[in-house]
Structure 1
Amino acid sequence: MSNNNQKGLRKTLGLSAALSTVVGMLIGSGVFFKPQAIYESTNGGAGLGLLAWLIGGLITIAAGLTAAEISSSIVKPGGLIVYLEEIYGEKVGFLTGWMQSILFIPAITAALGIIFAQEAVSLLSLQSDIYVILIAIGVIVLIALLNSLGAKFGGGIQTVSTICKLIPLALIVIFGFIKGEPSTDIMTPLVGENTNMVSAISQVLIATLFAYDGWIYVGALAGEMKDPAKHLPKAIVGGISLVMGVYIIINVAYLCVVPASEMAAVSAPATLVASKLFGESGAKVISVGILISVFGTLNGFLMTGGRIPYIMGCDGRIPFSKTFAKLNNNGVPLNGMWLIAGLAIIYSLSGQFNFLSDLAIFTIWIFYTMLFVGVIKLRKDKPNMKRSYKVPLYPVIPIIAIIGGVFIVVSTFITQTQNAILGLIITLAGLPIYNIIKNKKIKQEIQNNVA
């Protein structure tokens, strides 16, 4: 089946096009807002915060190189659902889609809605916290309505927002180094006083991995690349390394202008830095760029997220499958998208950006880690499987990815136990749903055979 799908894809992507695609997928909104969670976790220590961007980037490179072996071999719609089903069976595939539809994508969408609202409230100088909730809900509904007009419209939003997110980054980096006060001891202190190192490392990695999220889609490029075996690893390593470099440089620029202890105390560190560099009026211009960037990232999650309930609906693997399997007149899986949007609105009532993003990243990394293990499992179970790309330095790179994933999951469970348990409960709630649907299918097949 994968061969047929590959024949339908034009192999036109060279290395430079693949590199730019990787960079575009990865650079999101986390770099503007996650420094607050990072430096709060380190009690104002800058050193571990900067190291986190490096370590998170290296884990992401190992993850991208590993996962690409599967995503370049199993070229079917469905992404992570299909990959894990191929490796572990139908039940795990269902749980993957359930987790993405009910928890991961709605939680990330809600988190982005909240930071969009917080930035807008700051820009408009609104005082009451109720405005954050109202604006978050409003922007989620607006993007859902815009995407109902068709994928081309949503794609246009992505193009504009990609340009707009690079402008604030570039301006802050350039003027941060020119106007700021670079320090030779920027790595000290590593952490502030009375810091629990295991907890701090866990939380800063969760924060940076939110900013790096998107690498899972990189392997899907293989079907459109001229020479995936040669160019895909270069695109992954080069693209993620470039993003990692950008993230580290902008955080150094932040620290040249504002100390880590101050960034730990504000929800939008980038806006604080911009106000120091450009004054209040200049900071407002930067804030508009950041808002457009967040709007685009939010649009991307809603645009792609609605397709997961749609795919599951088409296969009859979700409650109300017929409803979710429908497309509107513009070819948009509208019901699936409104499921994501509706849940995101409920989650956004919490008003907690870091809580929601940490919950989502913890849960998705359980499945990512299963995927990394799956690369080794597939090598043993299906040695003759056609692989247009193989992870380099096997099994070292997959083992690095697995160790990184296990550390993130276990340490989060230890340091954010309630958050982790909530994520597991929501995910495992899919098991009785799966059993009900499975039993209905079996009964239907028996009835059909009898008839």
Structure 2
Amino acid sequence: MQKKLKLWDAIMLVMGSMIGSGIFIVSADMMRNLGSGFWLIIVWVITGIMTVAAAISYGELSALFPKAGGQYTYLKEIFGRKMGFLYGWGLFTVIQTGTIAAVAMAFGKFTAYLFPALNDAAPIFQSGEFKITWIQILAIAIILLLTYINTRGVQSGKILQNIFTGSKIVALLGLIAAGFILVESSHLAENFSLGFDSFNNLKKDITGNFLKEGWEPIGGMTLMGGIAAAMVGSVFSSVAWESVTFVSGEIDNPKKNVVKAMIYGTSAVMILYIAVNYVYLNAIDRDSIAFATNDRVAVAASQNIFGSAGTIIIALLVMVSTFGCNNGLILAGARVFQTMAKDGMFFKAAVDNNKNEVPGNALWMQGVWASLLCLSGQYGNLLDMISFVIVLFYMITVFGVIYLRVKQPDLERPYKTWLYPITPIIYLVIGSVFCILLLIYKQQYTWPGFVMVLLGLPVYYFINRNQKGTQSS
């Protein structure tokens, strides 16, 4: 593969793939689970520590296996083909494609702020609960456009990524500055005082809907359940940084630059995320965060900062953010499916590069499936269910660092994990607590995604049965 991506490009890919629509939305649901600005920031800090610890640990594996496929390659090389396939299966069926669909739909929904006719228009097709709207069509158009641009070569995708990621970083920094300079009455002390000494949660009425009144102090294990449920949102907003490992084969000096890109990129994004949440807590009160219309807490905060222009400002920012985010996800994901195809574990057509030296067929397969997920309307539910599985795969991969140190201590390691074994252990402990608490308190986020990944087992055995039959003949 051609080494067309430099360190800066790799950092932009990490940051651009991470920053999508989540940071503008998830804090509303997080506040409903936590009830306090103090605990909101604590959860973001925990997620930041998790994310950076994982990135530091992945660095050792990226230097050991500096080739396309990234996390899929690490899992396959360390734990065997079956584990690699299950990750790749999950990535194609929902992790990568579901995220692409969700981010594209966020682009469509925020575009409707600027063009209300998109929201007001009658569905193109409707049969019972199933319907196809113009927003879905716009989301699909964005996916197909970005897929086409990326089939034109790495250079096209790289330029687009750098422009849009740079733009949204500058815009976020501007929002953070304005959030403290232009706000006339700060709510920071008020939001932090709530729940500093005790945990606050929302009462629900008999229909299960949250009541605006009646935040009551509770504690103990309920706090743990609230933190776990809130972390589903912060974790969703903080994934996809590993996308840079998928394109290792096209990064200049991957043994050094992939490591640096992951660590610098994840650290910068988590600092931005925490700062943006401080802006929310400074600009609006707790109830305005928790009960923001359609969970668009960034819009509510921006209206308090910029007045009536706030809605347009945030809509434009989210459009830029989601467009750039999807470009990074589309660029990177196809490389995994091409690598799987070379290993005989994906469609054979995905093996070849096109005339522009990029995996054109793999890009279109990914784009078509993500488009179908947009039409299904189930991408949001799928992503909720898969958060548990994403963290499980992160944990297995981080554990791979320790496993290889024990099994192959003499292996030449161009980069060694900082503060080993403390760093991977930090991730494994936080990840384990998160998964256990979800299993206890929020089972709807756990077993469906786990079952979805396990459905890949019969597919794996079918593929390998065919391969054995070919070999014996």
TM-score by length of 1: 0.86
1:312 aligns with 2:340: yes
Task: Return the alpha-carbon distance in structure 2 between the equivalents of residues 422 and 200 of structure 1.
Answer: 20
Query: Against the structure 1 CA distance between its residues 242 and 325, is the aligned structure 2 distance closer, same or farther, given a 3 Å change threshold?
Result: closer
1:93 aligns with 2:98: no
Q: 2:358 aligns with which of 309, 324, 332?
A: 332
Task: Return the alpha-carbon distance in structure 2 between the equivalents of residues 400 and 443 of structure 1.
Answer: 45
Aligned residues: 434
Q: 2:135 aligns with which of 122, 132, 136?
A: 132
1:178 aligns with 2:181: yes
Task: Return the alpha-carbon distance in structure 2 between the equivalents of residues 21 and 89 of structure 1.
Answer: 28
1:81 aligns with 2:107: no
TM-score by length of 2: 0.82
Task: Return the alpha-carbon distance in structure 1 between the equivalents of residues 255 and 399 of structure 2.
Answer: 26
Contact 1:46/1:186 (<8 A) preserved: yes
Task: Return the alpha-carbon distance in structure 1 between the equivalents of residues 368 and 261 of structure 2.
Answer: 36
1:28 to partner: Cα distance? 4.1
CA-to-aligned-CA distance 1:147-193 (integer Å, 9 cap, x gap): 33333222222122112212331222112112223332432323334
1:68 aligns with 2:59: yes
SS of equivalent to 2:431:
helix
Task: Return the alpha-carbon distance in structure 2 between the equivalents of residues 107 and 323 of structure 1.
Answer: 22
Q: Which moved more, 1:209-218 or 1:19-28?
A: 19-28
CA-to-aligned-CA distance 1:285-320 (integer Å, 9 cap, x gap): 4421320111110111112112222221122212xx
Contact 2:14/2:242 (<8 A) preserved: no
Task: Return the alpha-carbon distance in structure 2 between the equivalents of residues 370 and 47 of structure 1.
Answer: 31
Query: Against the structure 1 CA distance between its residues 253 and 273, is the aligned structure 2 distance closer, same or farther, given a 3 Å change threshold?
Result: same
Q: Which amino acid aligns with 1:328?
A: N
Q: Which amino acid aligns with 2:139?
A: A
Query: Against the structure 1 CA distance between its residues 137 and 177, is the aligned structure 2 distance closer, same or farther, given a 3 Å change threshold?
Result: same
Q: CA RMSD of the aligned region, Å?
A: 3.1
Q: 1:342 aligns with which of 355, 368, 383?
A: 368
Task: Return the alpha-carbon distance in structure 2 between the equivalents of residues 203 and 65 of structure 1.
Answer: 25
Contact 2:20/2:103 (<8 A) preserved: no
Alignment partner, residue 146 of structure 2: 143
Task: Return the alpha-carbon distance in structure 2 between the equivalents of residues 314 and 235 of structure 1.
Answer: 26
Q: 2:397 aligns with which of 349, 371, 380?
A: 371
Alignment partner, residue 273 of structure 1: 301
1:328 to partner: Cα distance? 3.0
Q: Which moved more, 1:366-375 or 1:262-271?
A: 262-271
Q: Which moved more, 1:280-289 or 1:307-316?
A: 280-289
1:354 to partner: Cα distance? 5.0
Q: 2:26 aligns with which of 13, 18, 34?
A: 34
1:188 aligns with 2:188: no
Alignment partner, residue 154 of structure 1: 157
Q: Which moved more, 1:31-40 or 1:112-121?
A: 31-40
Q: 2:95 aligns with which of 81, 99, 104?
A: 104
Q: Which amino acid aligns with 1:361?
A: S
Alignment of 1:135-284 (within 5 A): 135-180=138-183, 181-182=185-186, 183-190=188-195, 191-194=200-203, 196-216=222-242, 228=256, 239-265=265-291, 266=293, 267-284=295-312
SS of equivalent to 2:453:
helix
1:242 to partner: Cα distance? 3.5
Q: Which amino acid aligns with 2:331?
A: M
CA-to-aligned-CA distance 1:14-52 (integer Å, 9 cap, x gap): xx998777655644442222222322322x432221111
* Unaligned segments of structure 2, at least 5 residues: 124-132, 204-217
CA-to-aligned-CA distance 1:370-402 (integer Å, 9 cap, x gap): 112111111111111111111122222211111
The structure with more strand, counted as a fraction of residues = 2
